[in-house]
């Protein structure tokens, strides 16, 4: 097997690099030394040296370089190389996301003019051993104690910029964390079959209240065909329909389109999305004005978000939950104390949201393990979502007419609603003043409690202020967390079955009838049920 890596310039000094996977280790070492010895040859332009030396030597296979002679004829592999300022960051990102060499080359073509540039690249590991990788794994393990080797490898690539074989991670974990490995051995799982037609046919929503003792609440929206998470939010409530509808409007505005149908569990907090999406669809298609364009699914029928919450609880939550639990046990935070709760929200929620954004970026850019039972496309969720045609699928998104979204937002998610404030404006202004004076560093895992304690002391040292105490009292009894919003009185959405999607093997069957289900279950002990 060989891959031809091609570079060229406007002159006749063409460079041809041949990566060989079928030569001995000794030969490859000699070839690499040959390149290092000759990398200052006049045939290499400054740009070529920078491109090859800085990028290829860091993450490429051993290469054999054929230097052109002074009278070399123009090669048929002669192109102008793509600009380094474009290529370098993209290559680093795609390598960190775990794409193979052919996939990297294909994705790069979306970012430069293929009529004028040509680029291909090979990557290799960084020769890490069980001993050398130890400190990095321990640093990640502290935040994510229940991660398996698959997630650990992705985390090391994307966050630590460390490329290490999965077997090395397994060897280290078996040597130093045998109990954690035993806790993740294959278990008996339940398979759930989900039928869908294509991308943006359906969006699913669900809330997560496992951290209510900290007064922190989560909410997720995902596109089930691709598995792409569109948002994962943490806030001081997830029960307000205006808040949830506002997040929905933000995503629709960002994507420039909406799904055909939305789906959630029964509950008044989801009525905002049901009403807002239904109104948007009616505005753009009057033929739909006789039915609700939202499905309420109960009795564990909204299965895709529920699966995600299971992964969230295993892959992300344990370390952060233990960190916050430590502060509670030490008496640093009492959720029933209005001042402590506001300081906690002001410090922790933005930081946790940043961590969630990083988690979702890894999640959407990580290709899941192959599942022989799965008929939906296999690939990176973000790729399936953005380019379904490459996976023999269709995009059912309805293009947005922006003025309609403004009308929906003003009606069901007014931007001036108090639920969109992290903390009361007066408190935020005072907290910002204290923070600027103290010149806090960026909040991180190591200093988040220190910043919280210092900011809390700043508030506690202030003289009693009647207006400030009234604001605290009002926040303690605030009813902004829950607003009742009735769902529009329309017949539930029903769709004939079956409907056929863009790919011939992807059939869709939806129903808003709670007596029916879109999912089938069976028990399995197959290898796809492993977490490692």
pLDDT at residue 478, rounded to an integer: 58
pLDDT band at 464 (very low <50, low <70, confident <90, very high): confident
Cα gap 452→443, rounded to integer Å = 10
DSSP of 253-288, one letter per residue? HHHTEE-SEEEE-SSGGGHHHHHHHHHHHHHH-GGG
64 sits in which H/E element = strand 63-66
What does the pLDDT average to over 89-110? Answer: 72
Per domain, the residue ranges of the chain are 2-108, 134-185, 190-420+483-529
Structure confidence by residue, pLDDT tens digits, 112-145: 655 555 443 333 446 677 777 778 877 777 777 7
Cα gap 144→160, rounded to integer Å = 14
Residue 176 has pLDDT above 90, yes or no: no
pLDDT at residue 79, rounded to an integer: 43
pLDDT at residue 289, rounded to an integer: 83
> Residue 99 half-sphere exposure, CB side, CA atoms within 13 Å?
23
Q: Which of 38-47, 245-254, 418-427, 479-488 has the lowest mean pLDDT?
A: 38-47
pLDDT at residue 49, rounded to an integer: 39
Fold of the 190-420+483-529 domain:
Nucleotidyltransferase; domain 5 (3.30.420)
* Max avg pLDDT among 65-79, 103-117, 431-445: 431-445
- Average pLDDT taken over every residue of the chain: 75
Structure confidence by residue, pLDDT tens digits, 495-529: 654 433 333 334 333 333 333 334 333 333 333 33
Q: Which of 10-24, 358-372, 408-422 has the lowest mean pLDDT?
A: 10-24
pLDDT at residue 126, rounded to an integer: 61
- The C-alpha angle with vertex 153 and arms to 150 and 156, in degrees rounded to 5, equals 150
- In the chain, what percentage of residues exceed pLDDT 90? 40
What does the pLDDT average to over 470-481? Answer: 70
Task: State the greatest distance between any 2 C-alpha atoms of the chain, in Å, as a whole number.
Answer: 88
pLDDT band at 466 (very low <50, low <70, confident <90, very high): confident
Distant-in-sequence, close-in-space partners of 14: CB < 8 Å, separation ≥ 6:
7, 8, 68, 72, 74, 75, 77, 78
Cα gap 322→311, rounded to integer Å = 17
pTM assigned to the model: 0.66
Structure confidence by residue, pLDDT tens digits, 188-219: 556 666 677 899 999 999 999 999 999 999 99
Residue listed under structure tokens 């997630």:
151
């Amino acid at each position: 097997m060989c891959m031809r890596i091609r570079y060229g310039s406007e002159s006749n000094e063409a460079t041809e690099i041949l990566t060989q996977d079928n030569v001995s280790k000794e030969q490859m070492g000699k070839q690499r030394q040959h390149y290092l010895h000759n990398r200052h040859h006049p045939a290499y332009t400054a740009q070529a040296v920078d491109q090859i030396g800085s990028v290829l030597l860091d993450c490429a296979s051993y290469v054999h370089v054929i230097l052109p002679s002074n009278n070399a004829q123009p090669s048929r592999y002669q192109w102008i190389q793509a600009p380094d300022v474009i290529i370098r960051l993209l290559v680093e990102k795609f390598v960190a996301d775990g794409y193979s060499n052919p996939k990297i080359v294909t994705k790069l073509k979306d970012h430069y003019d293929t009529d004028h540039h040509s680029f291909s690249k090979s990557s290799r590991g960084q020769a890490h051993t069980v001993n050398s990788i130890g400190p990095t794994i321990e640093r990640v393990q502290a935040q994510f104690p229940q991660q398996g080797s698959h997630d650990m490898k992705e985390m090391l690539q994307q966050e630590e910029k460390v490329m290490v074989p999965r077997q090395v991670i397994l060897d280290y974990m078996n040597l130093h964390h045998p109990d954690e490995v035993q806790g993740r051995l294959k278990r008996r799982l339940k398979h759930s079959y989900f039928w869908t037609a294509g991308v943006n046919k359906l969006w699913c929503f669900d809330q997560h209240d496992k951290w209510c003792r900290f007064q922190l609440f989560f909410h997720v929206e995902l596109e089930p065909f691709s598995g792409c998470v569109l948002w994962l939010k943490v806030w001081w409530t997830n029960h307000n329909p205006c808040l949830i509808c506002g997040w929905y409007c933000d995503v629709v505005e960002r994507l420039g389109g909406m799904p055909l149908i939305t789906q959630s569990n029964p509950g008044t907090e989801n009525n905002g999305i049901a009403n807002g999406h239904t109104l948007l669809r009616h505005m753009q298609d009057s033929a739909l004005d006789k039915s609700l364009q939202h499905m309420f699914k109960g009795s564990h029928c909204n299965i895709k978000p529920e699966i995600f919450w299971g992964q969230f609880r295993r892959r992300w939550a344990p370390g952060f939950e233990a960190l916050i639990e430590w502060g509670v046990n030490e008496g640093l935070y009492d959720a029933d104390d209005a001042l402590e709760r506001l300081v906690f929200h002001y410090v922790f929620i933005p930081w946790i949201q940043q961590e969630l954004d990083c988690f979702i970026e890894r999640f959407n850019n990580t290709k899941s393990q192959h599942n022989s039972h799965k008929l939906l496309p296999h690939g990176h969720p973000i790729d399936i979502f953005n380019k379904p045609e490459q996976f023999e699928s269709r995009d059912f998104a309805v293009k947005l007419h922006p003025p309609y979204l403004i009308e929906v937002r003003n009606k069901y998610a007014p931007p001036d609603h108090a639920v969109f404030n992290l903390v009361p404006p007066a408190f935020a202004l005072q907290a910002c003043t204290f923070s600027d004076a103290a010149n806090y560093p960026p909040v991180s895992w190591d200093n988040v409690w220190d910043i919280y304690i210092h900011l809390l002391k700043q508030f506690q040292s202030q003289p009693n202020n009647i207006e400030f105490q009234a604001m605290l009292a009002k926040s303690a009894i605030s009813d902004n967390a829950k607003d009742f919003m009735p769902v529009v009185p329309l017949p539930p959405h029903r769709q004939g079955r079956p409907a056929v999607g863009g790919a011939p093997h992807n059939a869709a069957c939806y129903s808003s009838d709670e007596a029916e289900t879109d999912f089938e279950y069976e028990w399995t002990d197959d290898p796809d049920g492993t977490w490692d």
